[in-house]
Amino acid sequence: MATSELVPARKPSLSPSELADAGALVAEARWNQLAADWRIFIAQGRVYAVATPQGRIVATAATLPYGGRFAWISMVLVAGEYRRRGLATQLMRRGVDDLVASQLVPILDATPDGREVYRRLGFKDSWGLQRLVRREPFSAAFAPPAGVVVRAIDDADWPALVAYDAAAFGAERGAVLAGLRGRLPAAELVATRDGRVVGFALGRDGRLAAHIGPLTADDDGIACALAARALDGLEGPVFVDLADAKSALRGYLDARGFAVARPFTRMIYGTATRFDDAARTYAVVGPEFG
């Protein structure tokens, strides 16, 4: 089929059949996302898609705005038989143009293969992260620092937790975080000291593995205690997308059976200056959400 016969569209929502097509693209790429992840983009952002005349979605990209400051671009997927036709670049450029027109700075997490492509589109390297994977459970005990309590999140914690996250992430994203709640209860944790939030973790289920993130904390000891509590409650494969700078948590995870799956580079359109608090950013939600 010629590229000219394909139908581009911005999708405020995906129909059930289109959601199944999007899931097929994820499965073909061997990515981890589920329908629940697509629904976050549908509710909070925008999905760009290319379809055949028969209505089958064969390429996607998605954008997710944060706090009127910046926005994520992700879920750039193309079905195998439609690759090398420029569809991914076309969708990326449309997303970037729309975000810039809305005065939002585009950000993405690039694989090594995508990094050079995104540089040509105007993105600059900001900082690195690694996807770590645990295949089998290991003992994960780690005592929290003195005076710190690590426990399950309850509803009363939520306003303070969202405010803590906004200060660390660089924008308010409570609606996106709310879309993670209930998906991986073992990882829904808050750390407090004298009643004040000093760290938290969330997570989600996935096609290939459970995924812990974000993990945000005031210091290494709190971050390791949050990770330990989450891991002790999880069976099977686990992903953590960990900032390269966080060597203490990296050492802790390495000692408990984690290995590198792939690197990512966080890239920002037109600048290398990050929006988040590097000191408190340990593990991110994932390359699709930031």
DSSP output for 145-157: PTTEEEEE--GGG
Q: Is the pLDDT of residue 284 over 60?
A: yes
Structure tokens at 174: 């409570």
Comparing 3-103 with 131-283, is the CATH topology the same? yes
Q: Is the pLDDT of residue 140 over 80?
A: no
Instruction: Output the CA–CA distances (angstroms, integers) from residue 51 to 7, 38, 152, 198, 271, in the order listed.
Output: 5, 17, 43, 46, 33
CATH fold of 3-103, please?
Answer: Aminopeptidase (3.40.630)
Q: What is the pLDDT of residues 190-248, one digit of tens each?
A: 999 999 999 999 999 999 999 999 999 999 999 999 999 999 999 999 999 999 999 99
Q: What is the pLDDT of residues 11-33, one digit of tens each?
A: 767 887 899 999 999 999 999 99
Among 221, 213, 216, 202, smallest CA distance to 149 is for: 221
Over residues 67-74, mean pLDDT:
95
Q: What is the pLDDT of residues 147-166, one digit of tens each?
A: 999 999 999 999 999 999 99
CATH 3.40.630.30, applies to 131-283: yes
Q: What is the pLDDT of residue 204?
A: 98
Structure tokens at 10: 């911005």
| CA dist., res. 39 & res. 64, Å (int) | 12
Structure tokens at 129: 């992260």
Q: 164, 200 in Cβ contact below 8 A?
A: yes
| CA dist., res. 11 & res. 3, Å (int) | 19
| CA dist., res. 34 & res. 207, Å (int) | 6
Categorize the per-residue pLDDT at 4 as very low, low, confident or very high, splitting at 50, 70 and 90: low
For the chain, domain boundaries: 3-103, 131-283
Which residues partner with 105 through β-bridges?
70
**Nearest 10 degrees: Cα torsion 166, 167, 169, 171:** 50
* Other beta carbons within 10 Å of 260: 12
| CA dist., res. 223 & res. 201, Å (int) | 9
Answer with the residue of higher pLDDT: 110 or 9.
110
